[in-house]
Amino acid sequence: MQTIRVDTPSAKYDVVTGGGLIGSLAPRIQRLAGKLPRRVFVLTSPEIWALWGNAFLKSFSEPPVTLFLPAGEKHKTMQSVDRLLRQIVAAGGDRGSMLIAFGGGIVGDVGGFLAAIFMRGIRYVQVPTTFLAQVDSSVGGKTGVNLPEGKNLVGSFHHPVAVFADIDVLGTLPDRELRSGLMESIKAGIIRDRALLRFMEEHADAVLGRDPKALEKVIAASMRMKASVVNRDERENGLRMILNLGHTVGHAIEQATRYKALLHGEAVGWGMIAALYVAHRRKSITGAQAARLENLIHLYGPLPTLKLRPAKLIAATGADKKNIGGVRRFVLPIGIGDAGVIEDLETSELQAAVGYMLSQAREPRAQ
Amino acid sequence: MQTIRVDTPSAKYDVVTGGGLIGSLAPRIQRLAGKLPRRVFVLTSPEIWALWGNAFLKSFSEPPVTLFLPAGEKHKTMQSVDRLLRQIVAAGGDRGSMLIAFGGGIVGDVGGFLAAIFMRGIRYVQVPTTFLAQVDSSVGGKTGVNLPEGKNLVGSFHHPVAVFADIDVLGTLPDRELRSGLMESIKAGIIRDRALLRFMEEHADAVLGRDPKALEKVIAASMRMKASVVNRDERENGLRMILNLGHTVGHAIEQATRYKALLHGEAVGWGMIAALYVAHRRKSITGAQAARLENLIHLYGPLPTLKLRPAKLIAATGADKKNIGGVRRFVLPIGIGDAGVIEDLETSELQAAVGYMLSQAREPRAQ
């Protein structure tokens, strides 16, 4: 078991990863956040609850009120938020209540947002059940939902009081979701952690084979990177921007495919390949480094093929929310283990990068 | 013109009151909050915009994008928020955009909430146009909307970057709304400012006659009280609770009359009369003080008559959001100029206070 500390101006809390956490949540939450209140809510998906509900309930003397969010990005909406808020009121929620978000990234984002805006903010705990949510979205206090016009356009910064990432629940995670989540760990390595990258190169079989020790090592390193960046830039004014490596093109792919064809990590994987291309062209990384990182991304693939018009993808990046006042911000790796943000990306560079990426994405890659 | 400083752990900003502010907003905002961004949005009501839109636009070299919220509590909903967020996206809003809430308390609460959750928070300016919004809701960063189950059950703490309370716009405010708003000034006096109370007793004619000097004095004193309480307790963990004097019963009256029969300040006026009754019974104020304060409330009346069953009203206080974990919190004046929160209010005391209040409220008061 490993514990990582998040320490920002507005919140300090522990992120715990290891095995056997789900069955002992109640005492663990009490240790970190004090006595449980009269009303505890758990937001989860029907699928997760069917698999892990009994284990979850084991440590609670009084069972929390269960709220359900059906799986899928299409339920990450203001309408779901409205419905769930009303259910919380109907079940007697008040300012002292606590919410536990028990599920993947969508459950975590919606649960955090509910906690942020119900009665102007109640406490919540993240218990992420996918690899992606464990290494990425559960840490850092970003919460929110989509609008029909784009992803994560609505939300709040609202930190949990604790995060518990249980390795055991990954046992029931589909293989494709594990591989997708690992793209964010590769990103963590590229921007901040060479040792993590090397470990992932050398132990791909153990990681993909879900060896608990290997998974814990990758998850803890990824969370530690995320926490260290969030600690230094809570509100994404500067440094935190580098976490968006691969996300400008990644979000554009998701939007252009209506969030249906790819998992988030898969889109980020392709987005990182586009970013590596720009970085290499700008001599921010060498050709050898670009090739090495590209190979690592494909090692944790396969990434799904894409049949998209480049122009459509370029247009979709224009709506990216990293743009402030029309300036396009783009994250580039600097060597291996560092990254920076540029504001002078030329459309021609983006076109070339997207063209390169799409040429790779047209046909399945020979494994 | 008077400037009051709000200075909390999370935000520092100026609250400005005086005449002629609406026509010079753009340079004033720039002085306090820096250069205006590419996209400025103004949320307003059709009525306010018809009266003051031209004056508002005068100082802007590029006109802000206008968003409308129809008047009335029934539009203070998640559905309005969803619609307005989508309009902001459609008009090119981004993380650097700024929103100006130009209207009464509902426009301010909804506008602040939009600014709190659009792209996880953009900057906004409060330009309150009702007396109530000027002295109360525009200061302190509370934002939010209602659910069908209750008022202000959803929201955020999100401070504006500046507040401009223009006395001139009160010229078009209906008399009943002015009187209603003045109830919050009376509240301010009761809990923190004896001098304000005396001024309101001695200059009721000037205040109700909208003498600009008298209005500015009452508004500035009320805002100063609000700011000083918010400065010491930003998140309503303790002291800020005293701002709820009269609001436990006041909110219950609003809920029991479905927010239709009374203005907020009128309900608070009746709520304060109930609170004075409890305070007197508990010897927290003398009989003479209770009578003096009751007279002042009626001096700024008339408060509308109420025909409500006491049991219905008592039940409605049970849903009050000041209850944490089932403990009922209730604010009582302590003498004149101070107040405290009790947690041991007996149902019998509440019944007696509500009975006393309703006996006064049954028939119009002889003026």
Query: pLDDT tens, A16-69?
Result: 999 999 999 999 999 998 999 999 999 999 999 999 999 999 999 999 999 999
- Per-residue pLDDT of B106-115, as tens digits, reads 999 999 999 9
Give me A280's structure tokens.
Answer: 């290499």
Check B116 against A156: CB less than 8 A apart: yes
- pLDDT cut 70: percent of chain A above it: 97
Reported confidence tier of residue B233, pLDDT bands at 50, 70, 90: confident
How many whole angstroms separate alpha carbon A300 and alpha carbon A215?
Answer: 14
pLDDT surpassing 60 at residue B351: yes
Residues of A in contact with B10 (CB under 8 A): 10
Give me B154's structure tokens.
Answer: 């959803």
Run of H or E residues at A104: none
User: What pairing do the DSSP bridges indicate for beta strands B12-18 and B65-68?
Assistant: unpaired
Beta carbons of B248 and B331 less than 8 angstroms apart: yes
Q: What's the pLDDT at B239?
A: 83
Q: What's the pLDDT at B347?
A: 87
Helix (H, G, I), strand (E, B) or coil at B101: strand
Reported confidence tier of residue B320, pLDDT bands at 50, 70, 90: very low
Q: What's the pLDDT at B319?
A: 42
- pLDDT cut 90: percent of chain A above it: 81
Beta carbons of A330 and A252 less than 8 angstroms apart: no
How many whole angstroms separate alpha carbon A104 and alpha carbon A73?
Answer: 11
| DSSP conformational letter for B64 | P
ipTM: 0.86
Kindly state whether A118 is in contact with chain B, defined as any CB-CB distance less than 8 angstroms. yes
Beta carbons of A302 and A366 less than 8 angstroms apart: no
Q: What's the pLDDT at A96?
A: 94
Q: Which domains does chain B have, with CATH numbers?
A: 2-172 (3.40.50.1970), 176-210+226-361 (1.20.1090.10)
Q: Would you list the DSSP string of A52-85?
A: HHHHHHTT-SSPPEEEE--SSGGG-SHHHHHHHH
Check A82 against B78: CB less than 8 A apart: yes
How many whole angstroms separate alpha carbon B82 and alpha carbon B114?
Answer: 9
pLDDT surpassing 70 at residue A186: yes
What's chain A's length in residues? 367
pLDDT surpassing 50 at residue A276: yes
pLDDT surpassing 70 at residue B354: yes
Q: What's the pLDDT at B28?
A: 97
Beta carbons of B64 and B111 less than 8 angstroms apart: no
Answer yes or no: A123 catalytic.
no
Q: What's the pLDDT at A48?
A: 96
A144 beta partners: A155
Give the number of other Cβ atoms within 10 Å of residue B310's Cβ: 16
Average pLDDT over residues B37-58: 96
User: What pairing do the DSSP bridges indicate for beta strands A2-7 and A12-18?
Assistant: antiparallel
Catalytic residue among A28, A123, A179, A184: A184
Chain A residue with CA closest to B151: the answer is A119
Residues of B in contact with A325 (CB under 8 A): 37-38, 94, 96
Q: What's the pLDDT at A138?
A: 87
> How far is residue B154 CA from its own chain's centroid?
16
- HSE, CB side, 13 Å, CA atoms: give it for residue B327: 11
Check B120 against A323: CB less than 8 A apart: no
pLDDT surpassing 60 at residue A252: yes
Give me the residue from B117, B148, B326 closest to A154, CB to CB: B117
Average pLDDT over residues B208-230: 94
User: What pairing do the DSSP bridges indicate for beta strands B12-18 and B2-7?
Assistant: antiparallel
pLDDT surpassing 80 at residue A242: yes
Q: What's the pLDDT at A363?
A: 87
Average pLDDT over residues B302-327: 76
Q: Exposed/middle/buried for A200, CB within 10 Å: 0-12, 13-18, 19+? A: buried
> What value, to the nearest 5°, has the Cα angle with vertex B15 and ends B13 and B18?
155
How many whole angstroms separate alpha carbon B108 and alpha carbon B144?
Answer: 9
How many whole angstroms separate alpha carbon B225 and alpha carbon A170?
Answer: 54
Q: Would you list the DSSP string of A181-220?
A: HHHHHHHHHHHH-HHHHHHHHHTHHHHHTT-HHHHHHHHH
pLDDT surpassing 50 at residue A321: no
Check B86 against A142: CB less than 8 A apart: no
Q: What's the pLDDT at A260?
A: 84
Average pLDDT over residues B283-292: 97
Reported confidence tier of residue B366, pLDDT bands at 50, 70, 90: confident
The contacts of residue B223 (CB under 8 Å, 6+ apart) are B4, B15, B17, B134, B135, B139, B165
Average pLDDT over residues B130-139: 91
Beta carbons of A318 and A239 less than 8 angstroms apart: no
Residues of B in contact with A343 (CB under 8 A): none
Q: What's the pLDDT at B367?
A: 59
Average pLDDT over residues A101-126: 97
Give me A281's structure tokens.
Answer: 């062209």
Q: Which residue has the higher pLDDT, A117 or B325?
A: A117
Kindly state whether A288 is in contact with chain B, defined as any CB-CB distance less than 8 angstroms. no
How many whole angstroms separate alpha carbon B135 and alpha carbon B139?
Answer: 8
Kindly state whether A35 is in contact with chain B, defined as any CB-CB distance less than 8 angstroms. no
Answer yes or no: A295 catalytic.
no
Reported confidence tier of residue B321, pLDDT bands at 50, 70, 90: very low
Reported confidence tier of residue B238, pLDDT bands at 50, 70, 90: confident
Give me A59's structure tokens.
Answer: 């440590």
pLDDT surpassing 90 at residue A238: no
Give me the residue from A10, A82, A96 closest to B325, CB to CB: A96
Q: What is the pTM of this model?
A: 0.89
Check A326 against B38: CB less than 8 A apart: yes
How many whole angstroms separate alpha carbon A102 and alpha carbon A42?
Answer: 7
Average pLDDT over residues A232-258: 88
Average pLDDT over residues A272-280: 97
Kindly state whether B365 is in contact with chain A, defined as any CB-CB distance less than 8 angstroms. no
**Mutation site, B117, B123, B321, interface A, largest A CB count within 10 A:** B117
pLDDT surpassing 90 at residue B328: no
Q: Exposed/middle/buried for A52, CB within 10 Å: 0-12, 13-18, 19+? A: buried
- pLDDT cut 90: percent of chain B above it: 81
Residues of A in contact with B91 (CB under 8 A): none
CA nearest B164: which of B13, B2, B32, B17? B17
- Closest-CA distance, B366 to chain A, in angstroms, reads 40
Give me the residue from B96, B121, B325 closest to A324, CB to CB: B96
Q: What's the pLDDT at B41?
A: 98
Average pLDDT over residues B242-252: 93
pLDDT surpassing 90 at residue B125: yes
Beta carbons of A42 and A64 less than 8 angstroms apart: yes
- Closest-CA distance, B78 to chain A, in angstroms, reads 7
pLDDT surpassing 70 at residue B242: yes
Reported confidence tier of residue A323, pLDDT bands at 50, 70, 90: low
CA distances from residue A51 to A22, A26, A47, A327 in whole angstroms, order as listed? 12, 19, 6, 46
> What value, to the nearest 5°, has the Cα angle with vertex A244 and ends A240 and A250?
165
> What value, to the nearest 5°, has the Cα angle with vertex A46 and ends A42 and A50?
95
Chain A residue with CA closest to B318: the answer is A92
End-to-end CA distance of chain B: 34
In our burial notation (b when 16+ CB lie closer than 10 A, e otherwise), range B14-36 reads bbbbbbebbbebbebbeebbeeb
Average pLDDT over residues A310-327: 68
Q: Which amino acid, residue B253? A: I
Kindly state whether B232 is in contact with chain A, defined as any CB-CB distance less than 8 angstroms. no
The contacts of residue B315 (CB under 8 Å, 6+ apart) are none
pLDDT surpassing 80 at residue B141: yes
pLDDT surpassing 90 at residue A287: yes
- Closest-CA distance, B154 to chain A, in angstroms, reads 5
**Mutation site, B77, B84, B153, B251, interface A, largest A CB count within 10 A:** B153
Residues of B in contact with A323 (CB under 8 A): 94
Catalytic residue among A120, A258, A283, A307: A120
CA nearest B180: which of B268, B117, B259, B244? B268
Q: What's the pLDDT at A361?
A: 94
Average pLDDT over residues B118-147: 94
pLDDT surpassing 70 at residue A282: yes
| DSSP conformational letter for B170 | G
Reported confidence tier of residue A299, pLDDT bands at 50, 70, 90: very high
Check B144 against A117: CB less than 8 A apart: yes
pLDDT surpassing 80 at residue A196: yes
Q: What's the pLDDT at B209?
A: 95
Kindly state whether A94 is in contact with chain B, defined as any CB-CB distance less than 8 angstroms. yes
Q: What's the pLDDT at B147?
A: 94
How many whole angstroms separate alpha carbon A139 and alpha carbon A142?
Answer: 8
Cis amide bond preceding A302, omega within 30: yes
pLDDT surpassing 80 at residue B130: yes
Residues of A in contact with B81 (CB under 8 A): 78
The contacts of residue A359 (CB under 8 Å, 6+ apart) are none
Could you say which residues from 73 to 92 on chain A have a Cβ atom under 8 Å away from some Cβ of chain B? 78-79, 81-82, 85-86, 89-90
Check A119 against B85: CB less than 8 A apart: no
